[in-house]
């Protein structure tokens, strides 16, 4: 296996980071368009509900990117993983059909959740429009994983740019005609842009699959042969991990809602978390980089150092805004939040400014564990995170010493630290794999 240089790591990471950052702006862009159409308040509320349900339904496919990077090494493993994507696509589409097109929709969202009927019924046609959204994401991430392994991560950034252009064009048309309801336009923009991106990524991946994957009949000697049962056991904990990540969001919201002055706290938490994620999203891609290039101890050490540098740099940038007058410019001038929200959001943002460091540490550990096929450890650590979050929120509900947003910030911080500790502790007893058990990665392409 080749020794990595920091230049190679940076070349692989940068396009993935830019892609993630571009995707993070899609929500605000769509919200800005919806707010300029009739019945903006209702449609914005419906769009928020739409995305929470759509993300929940798609959560089983999110980790397909890491699985593809880690497992697709030959014709044999490619065909097995591709078959798994087909079956997973059938499952998530069936779940969507069952929820969006049957009376189960009213039972779940009007009866169980108690959602206002107006919001639920406004969002339903848009959710039906997104029935193939998870499938498009599953296939896109499957092909993206192959591109990352082959050192062509730059193509992923180009694909995301095409996605944003498609989304922008759809929104512009909707704003011109002014006859498409806001949430339906949002669903159309989300669905169409992801389909376009998936088709582009699949087209770009075709020659790499034909020339570099399919000619290799089997995985390298010493690698544990991949079969469907092993793939299922590998992937199920990853799917569970992302499902818990999605579930943690409403749990956090429910906790804040039970603390004093919930409206102010929810507003402050939303904008403070948005600022933190603006910087933390840059380090998220380190997980896929680690999965693609880990194996040798020296490479893992360099990947860990690179991740630590990323975490420190983006945490410092976050702190630079929070502790200087730039905080007022961001919250008041740029976001136009009310003064009471700004006053609470600044201390909350100060508590969570270290999130890039924590995400970097977590994702480096996750990446190495995924390479070593210890995905059960990744799931257990995320479960520990969720339990810690719930315990800390419960304590906050019964403690009147601080605002709900402040309690939530400490709870999220504590839960992330606990997850990292669990990842490291659960990892230690595991025997490391030998270098011979890993496929040698293709050198990073010069144009990546």
Q: What is the 3-state secondary structure (H, E, C) of 8-20?
A: HHHHHHHHHHHHH
Range 275-284 burial, b when 16+ CB lie within 10 A, else e = bbbbbbbbbb
Rounded distance between C-alpha atoms, residue 354 and residue 145, angstroms: 29
Contact 198, 136 (CB under 8 A): yes
Say if residue 307 is in the same domain as residue 448.
yes
So what's the pLDDT on residue 439? 42
What pLDDT, in 10s, does the model give residues 220-275? 766 777 889 999 999 999 999 988 888 888 788 778 878 877 878 877 887 888 88
What pLDDT, in 10s, does the model give residues 16-48? 898 888 887 887 788 788 888 888 878 888 887
Count of the separate structural domains present in the chain: 2
pTM (2 decimals)?
Answer: 0.85
Highest mean pLDDT among 191-200, 288-297, 389-398 belongs to: 191-200
pLDDT band at 170 (very low <50, low <70, confident <90, very high): very high
- Give the tokens for residue 323: 């502790």
So what's the pLDDT on residue 404? 83
What pLDDT, in 10s, does the model give residues 299-344? 889 999 999 999 999 999 999 999 999 988 888 877 677 788 888 8
**3-class SS letters over the chain:** CCCCCHHHHHHHHHHHHHHHHHHHCHHHHHHHHHCCCCCHHHHHHHHHHHHHHHHHHHHHHHCHHHHHHHHCCCHHHHHHHHHHHHHHHHHHHHHHHHHHCCCHHHHHHHHHCCCCHHHHHHHHHHHHHCCCHHHHHHHHHHHHHHHHHCCCCHHHHHHHHHHHHHHHHHHHHHHHHCCCCHHHHHHHHHHHHHHHHHHHHHHHHHHHHHHHHCCCCCCCCCCCCCCHHHHHHHHHHHHHHHHHHHHHHHHHHHHHHCCCCHHHHHHHHHHHHHHHHHHHCCCCCHHHHHHHHCCCHHHHHHHHHHHHHHHHHHHHHHHHHHCCCHHHHHHHHHCCCCHHHHHHHHHHHHHCCCHHHHHHHHHHHHHHHHHCCCHHHHHHHHHHHHHHHHHHHHHHHCCCCCCHHHHHHHHHHHHHHHHHHHHHHHHCCCCCCCHHHCCCCCCCCCCC
- C-alpha distances (whole Å) from 343 to each of 326, 327, 381 are 14, 10, 34
Say if residue 213 is in the same domain as residue 232.
no
Domain limit, last residue, from 185, 219, 253: 219
Say if residue 215 is in the same domain as residue 239.
no
Q: Looking at the predicted structure, is the pLDDT value of residue 437 above 90?
A: no
Say if residue 307 is in the same domain as residue 417.
yes
Say if residue 191 is in the same domain as residue 254.
no
Say if residue 195 is in the same domain as residue 251.
no
pLDDT band at 438 (very low <50, low <70, confident <90, very high): very low
pLDDT band at 428 (very low <50, low <70, confident <90, very high): low
- Give the tokens for residue 328: 């007022």
What pLDDT, in 10s, does the model give residues 374-385? 999 999 999 999
Say if residue 76 is in the same domain as residue 5.
yes
Q: How many CB atoms lie within 10 A of CB 211?
A: 10
Its domain, for residue 299, covers 226-448
Say if residue 120 is in the same domain as residue 199.
yes
Say if residue 439 is in the same domain as residue 405.
yes
pLDDT band at 109 (very low <50, low <70, confident <90, very high): confident
So what's the pLDDT on residue 433? 44
Say if residue 286 is in the same domain as residue 430.
yes
- Give the tokens for residue 304: 């860990």
Rounded distance between C-alpha atoms, residue 307 and residue 16, angstroms: 14
- Give the tokens for residue 90: 């059938």
CA 4, 8, 9 angle in degrees (round to 5)? 80
What pLDDT, in 10s, does the model give residues 335-369? 677 788 888 889 999 999 999 999 999 999 999 99
Per the prediction, the chain carries an average pLDDT of 86
So what's the pLDDT on residue 305? 95
So what's the pLDDT on residue 1? 52
Q: Looking at the predicted structure, is the pLDDT value of residue 445 above 50?
A: no
Q: Looking at the predicted structure, is the pLDDT value of residue 392 above 80?
A: yes
- The CA-based diameter of the chain, rounded to the nearest angstrom, is 64
Domain limit, last residue, from 192, 219, 246: 219
Rounded distance between C-alpha atoms, residue 134 and residue 112, angstroms: 24
- Give the tokens for residue 240: 């569970």
Rounded distance between C-alpha atoms, residue 186 and residue 339, angstroms: 30
Domain limit, last residue, from 219, 248, 277: 219
Q: Among 302, 15, 325, 311, which residue's Cα sits nearest to residue 148?
A: 15
Report the range of poorest mean pLDDT among 12-26, 71-85, 199-213, 413-427: 12-26
Q: Which residue has the tokens 């790499």?
A: 208
Q: Which residues lie closer than 8 Å to 260 by C-beta, 6 or more apart? A: 400, 403, 404
Say if residue 212 is in the same domain as residue 325.
no
Q: Which residue has the tokens 């977590």?
A: 362
So what's the pLDDT on residue 55? 87
Q: How many CB atoms lie within 10 A of CB 209?
A: 19
Say if residue 213 is in the same domain as residue 231.
no
Rounded distance between C-alpha atoms, residue 129 and residue 193, angstroms: 13
So what's the pLDDT on residue 202? 96
Q: Region 164-193: what's the mean pLDDT?
A: 92
Q: How many CB atoms lie within 10 A of CB 10?
A: 15
CA 243 to chain centre: 11
């Amino acid at each position: 296996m080749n020794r990595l240089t920091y230049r190679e790591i940076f070349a692989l990471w940068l396009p993935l980071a830019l892609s993630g950052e571009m995707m993070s702006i899609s929500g605000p862009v769509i919200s800005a368009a919806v707010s300029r159409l009739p019945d903006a308040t209702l449609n914005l509320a419906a769009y928020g509900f739409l995305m929470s349900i759509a993300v929940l339904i798609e959560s089983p496919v999110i980790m397909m990117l890491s699985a593809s990077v880690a497992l697709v090494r030959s014709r044999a493993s490619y065909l097995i993983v591709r078959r798994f994507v087909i079956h997973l696509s059938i499952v998530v589409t069936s779940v969507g059909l069952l929820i969006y097109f049957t009376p189960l929709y009213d039972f779940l969202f009007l009866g169980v959740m108690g959602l206002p009927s107006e919001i639920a019924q406004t969002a339903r046609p848009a959710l039906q429009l997104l029935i193939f959204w998870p499938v498009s994401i599953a296939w896109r991430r499957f092909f993206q994983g192959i591109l990352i392994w082959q050192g062509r991560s730059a193509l992923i950034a180009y694909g995301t740019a095409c996605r944003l252009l498609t989304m922008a064009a759809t929104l512009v048309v909707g704003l011109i005609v002014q006859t498409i309801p806001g949430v339906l336009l949002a669903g159309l923009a989300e669905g169409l842009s992801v389909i376009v991106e998936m088709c582009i990524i699949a087209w770009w991946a075709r020659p790499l699959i034909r020339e570099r994957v399919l000619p290799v009949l089997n995985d390298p000697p010493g690698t544990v042969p991949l079969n469907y049962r092993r793939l299922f056991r590998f992937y199920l904990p990853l799917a569970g991990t992302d499902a818990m990540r999605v579930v943690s969001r409403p749990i956090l919201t429910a906790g804040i809602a039970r603390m004093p002055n919930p409206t102010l706290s929810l507003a402050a938490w939303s904008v403070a978390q948005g600022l933190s994620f603006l910087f933390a999203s840059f380090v998220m891609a380190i997980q896929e980089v680690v999965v693609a290039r880990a194996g040798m101890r020296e490479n893992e050490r360099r990947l860990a150092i690179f991740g630590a540098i990323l975490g420190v740099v983006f945490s410092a940038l976050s702190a630079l805004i929070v502790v200087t007058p730039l905080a007022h410019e961001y919250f008041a001038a740029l976001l136009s939040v009310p003064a009471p929200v700004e006053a609470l959001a600044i201390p909350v943002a100060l508590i969570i400014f270290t999130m890039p460091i924590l995400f970097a540490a977590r994702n480096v550990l996750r990446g190495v564990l995924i390479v070593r096929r210890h995905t059960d450890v990744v799931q257990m650590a995320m479960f520990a995170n969720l339990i810690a979050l719930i315990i800390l929120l419960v304590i906050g509900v019964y403690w009147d010493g601080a605002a709900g947003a402040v309690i939530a910030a400490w709870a999220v911080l504590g839960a992330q630290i606990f997850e990292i500790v669990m990842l490291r502790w659960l990892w230690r007893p595991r025997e490391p794999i030998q270098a011979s058990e890993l496929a040698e990665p293709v050198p990073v392409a010069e144009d990546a």
